[in-house]
Structures are given as C-alpha cells and as structure tokens.
C-alpha cells in the first residue's frame, strides 16, 4: 500500500502527540548521551579532538544517510511497529558503548545508535502530521520540544549517573531504551488502526496533486532551506560537541559543571522549539525562520568575548533563537512537497545530522590546530547566513493568491 496521500485526523489527537513527544524525548535523551560522555571517552582512551570529531562524524552520518531512505521506504510501505524497531538499534548501540574499549568499537556502537535515530525521526514526524488534525505547527512543536528536552536531560543524567561512577554506567541508558520501546506501543496500535482504516477506504495516490510552487521554485526554495539548515547546525555542532571543552579550557570549570551549563543551553533549545511552530502557524513560517537564525547572530558574535556568566546567558539566548527555526523549516518543506512527508522529513533531519557530523569533524581538527576558542570565533558568524531567508516565497501569500484565482 502506498500512503503518499495520507491525510491528518479530523481532530487533533493530543494523547498520541504527547506519547510521540515522550518517545522523541527518550530517543534524543539517549542520543545525547554520546556527546555528553565525550570527556569520559577522551580520558579513558586518551582520544584527541580529531578522534572526538570522528566519533561524531560516524554517528551523524549513520543517523543522516539512512533517514531519507527510511522515509522513502516507509512512504511506500508503512510499518506500524517501525518506532520500536529503531529504538532496538539504539538499545544495542548503548549496551556496546558502555563497554567499548577501542575507538573502532566506539565507532560501531555510535553507528548503531545513529541508525535508531534515522528510523525514528522521519516515521515519528509522519505520525505527528497524521495526528495533528490540521494544526501542524502546534503538533510539530510538541513533537520537537520532546526531543529538545530529551537532548537537554541527557548531559544532566550523564553528569549525575555516569561521570561520578565511570563509563560502564552508560548501561543504565540501555535499560531506559527498553522502557521507551514499551512507551511506543500505544502509537503502534493507533497507527495500525489508521492504516487499516486508510486501506478500507481505498485512498490511493493522486497523480495530479497541485504543488504550491512550480517545480523550479520548489527546488530553489528547498535549496534555500538546506542552506539555512547548514548555517544553523554548524553552529549547533560547535555547542553540542565542544561547548563543555570550551568552558573547561577557558574558565577552568569541572566536567560536571560544564555539563550543567550545557544543560542550560539545551533547555533553551527546548523552549525555542515549543514557540516556533505555533508562531509559524499564525504569522507564517518564513518570518519565524528569518527572526530565528538572523536573530541569533548578535549573541553568537558576542559569546567568545564574554566572561563565564555572560557566556552562559548568551548561549541560552542563542539556543532559544536558533531552535525555533527547525519546526518552521521542516513544515515549510512539507508544505512544498505534501505528498512526500517521510522523504522530506528524512531529508531534512538527515541533512541536519550530516551537517552536524561533518562540522564536528572539521571543528575537532580546527580545535587541535588552532585552539578551542578559535572554533567559537569562526562559528559565531554562521547565523548571518540566515539572510538568505529573504529569497524564500511567503507560502501564506501564495495560498491566498491561489484561493482568489
């Protein structure tokens, strides 16, 4: 059965959206264990910054390359139990990560965790759309904020449960992955019932689906969105992968303190994500993207020159601003290609992960050669690429014009 013509539920299904958000929270909490445990890996195995970057590269590539592929496959052949399948890969990866004794073993472990993420994101985004009842910005923000909260809780839990006792305690998170599989079963049941209903109504793909823009303008707009993802996630990679090292090096804080400061930044990303979707529903995705990415530039440019307390405050402001962009970017792309929900979600989540991975590898080498502070002096300019938002069409105006004609 091909479900490219899937329709959202008539009414928003908050119970499923909340469970999806919780599933995203647990997934991203488990994913964030990797970067939060970097100082432990570095000490245990005497790794260089370049090797830390390589770990991030392998993880992000496994999490990115497979996302468009899984989105495309499940567009054509939906599977109601796809979310637990992805979480099983994550659980196996974390079990290996707890006991990995070499760089190659770590690389294999993080690649398994990445595959789990590559299944969850496009599939959960599709189900979020189906449960939205048409309130797509609100639904996507609820889904995304779960991920951001999970990403912020990961470093905090590593600081409390792993750092004081040793890296083997990462096994606790594998148990949490097993719990996450149980949490996902109501979603599987709801999605299975939806697919059965869809099949019984014999809803098939329409060959003549009207896109909001011409093919050339759609390709151009997707290209602009990918540039925006590029600018956002290069800067985000500098914070998620190297912020703890930056704080330890520049201000002499402890590993646990640095992880708590990383937690503050990640909490800001959760708040910004929750704001971005509903605001985009009201004022238009383009304006949220514009304010989010370009608005982060003053804070990112000031941060390398600030003392500790202001560094923490500025990182909070950067996280708040930048994170509100992704729900708007993803929904804008889905509105451009409404019959390719899984493919679009996989492409944008995958590209975001891929950019972050490559950036981490490059920034790791930069830190080895020029110092960790040079990374933040260079990356502070990345949000200025948000100026290309000017060239995006306003889809709300396009829709109104089409309705008039």
Residue 275 neighbours by CB under 8 Å, 6+ apart:
141, 324
Burial (CB count <10 Å: 0-12, 13-18, 19+), residue 152: buried
pLDDT tens-place string over residues 222-257: 999 989 988 888 888 788 778 888 999 999 998 878
Q: Give the SS3 label for residue 375.
A: helix
Q: What is the mean pLDDT of the chain?
A: 84
The pTM for the full model equals 0.70
Cα–Cα distance measured from residue 316 to residue 69, given in angstroms and rounded to the nearest whole number? 34
Domain ranges of the chain: 14-404
First to last CA, the chain: 35
What residue spans of 100-184 are helical by DSSP H?
A: 103-130, 136-161, 171-183
**pLDDT at residue 234, as a whole number:** 86
DSSP string, 39-84: HHHHHHHT--HHHHHHHHHHHHHHHHHHHHHHHHHHHHS--TTHHH
Does residue 363 contact residue 375 with C-beta atoms inside 8 Å? yes
Count the residues in the chain.
405
Q: Give the SS3 label for residue 230.
A: helix
Cα–Cα distance measured from residue 325 to residue 276, given in angstroms and rounded to the nearest whole number? 6
Assigned CATH for 14-404: 1.20.1250.20
Rounded mean pLDDT of 209-218?
82
Among 129, 117, 109, residue whose Cα is nearest residue 83: 117
Side-chain-facing half-sphere of 56: CA atoms under 13 Å: 35
Token pair belonging to 3: 């479900």
Cα–Cα distance measured from residue 395 to residue 213, given in angstroms and rounded to the nearest whole number? 9
**pLDDT at residue 266, as a whole number:** 77
DSSP 168: G
**Residue 169 CB coordination number (10 Å):** 16
pLDDT tens-place string over residues 139-160: 888 888 888 778 778 878 888 8
The H helix count followed by the E strand count for the chain is 16, 0
3 pLDDT higher than 50: no
Distance of CA 46 to the CA centre of its chain: 29
Among 128, 127, 123, 117, residue whose Cα is nearest residue 94: 117
Rounded mean pLDDT of 307-336?
89
Per-residue pLDDT band at 9 (split at 50, 70, 90): low
Burial (CB count <10 Å: 0-12, 13-18, 19+), residue 150: buried
Token pair belonging to 28: 């991203």
């Amino acid at each position: 059965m091909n479900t490219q013509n899937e329709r959202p539920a008539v009414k928003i299904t908050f119970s499923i959206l909340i469970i999806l958000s919780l599933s995203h929270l647990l997934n991203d909490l488990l994913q964030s264990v990797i970067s939060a445990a970097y100082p432990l890996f570095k000490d245990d195995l005497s790794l260089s910054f370049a090797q830390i970057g390589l770990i991030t590269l392998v993880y992000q590539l496994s999490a990115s390359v497979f996302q468009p592929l899984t989105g495309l496959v499940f567009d054509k052949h939906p599977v109601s139990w796809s979310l637990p399948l992805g979480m099983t890969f994550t659980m196996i990866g974390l079990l290996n990560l707890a006991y990995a004794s070499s760089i190659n073993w770590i690389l294999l472990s993080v690649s398994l965790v990445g595959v789990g993420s590559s299944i969850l994101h496009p599939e959960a985004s599709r189900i979020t759309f189906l449960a939205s009842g048409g309130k797509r910005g609100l639904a996507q923000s609820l889904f995304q904020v779960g991920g951001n909260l999970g990403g912020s809780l990961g470093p905090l839990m590593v600081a409390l449960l792993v750092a004081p006792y040793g890296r083997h305690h990462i096994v606790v998170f594998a148990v949490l992955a097993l719990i996450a599989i149980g949490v996902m079963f109501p979603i599987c049941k709801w999605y299975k019932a939806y697919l059965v209903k869809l099949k019984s109504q014999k809803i098939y793909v329409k060959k003549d689906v009207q896109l909001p823009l011409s093919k050339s303008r759609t390709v151009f707009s997707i290209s602009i969105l990918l540039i925006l993802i590029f600018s956002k996630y290069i800067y985000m990679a500098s914070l998620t992968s190297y912020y703890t090292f930056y704080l330890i090096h520049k201000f002499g804080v402890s590993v646990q303190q640095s992880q708590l400061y990383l937690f503050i930044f990640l909490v800001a990303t959760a708040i910004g994500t929750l704001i971005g979707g509903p605001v985009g529903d009201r004022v238009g995705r383009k304006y949220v993207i514009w304010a989010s990415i370009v608005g982060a530039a003053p804070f990112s440019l000031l941060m390398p020159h600030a003392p500790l307390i202001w560094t923490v405050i500025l990182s909070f402001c950067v996280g708040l601003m930048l994170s509100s962009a992704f729900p708007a970017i993803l929904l804008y792309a889905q509105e451009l290609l409404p019959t390719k929900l899984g493919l679009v979600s996989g492409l944008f989540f995958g590209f975001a992960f891929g950019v972050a991975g490559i950036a981490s590898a490059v920034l790791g080498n930069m830190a080895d050669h020029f110092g960790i502070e040079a990374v933040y002096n260079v990356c502070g300019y990345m949000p200025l690429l948000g100026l290309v938002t000017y060239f995006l069409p306003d889809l709300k105006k396009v829709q109104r014009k089409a309705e008039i004609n």
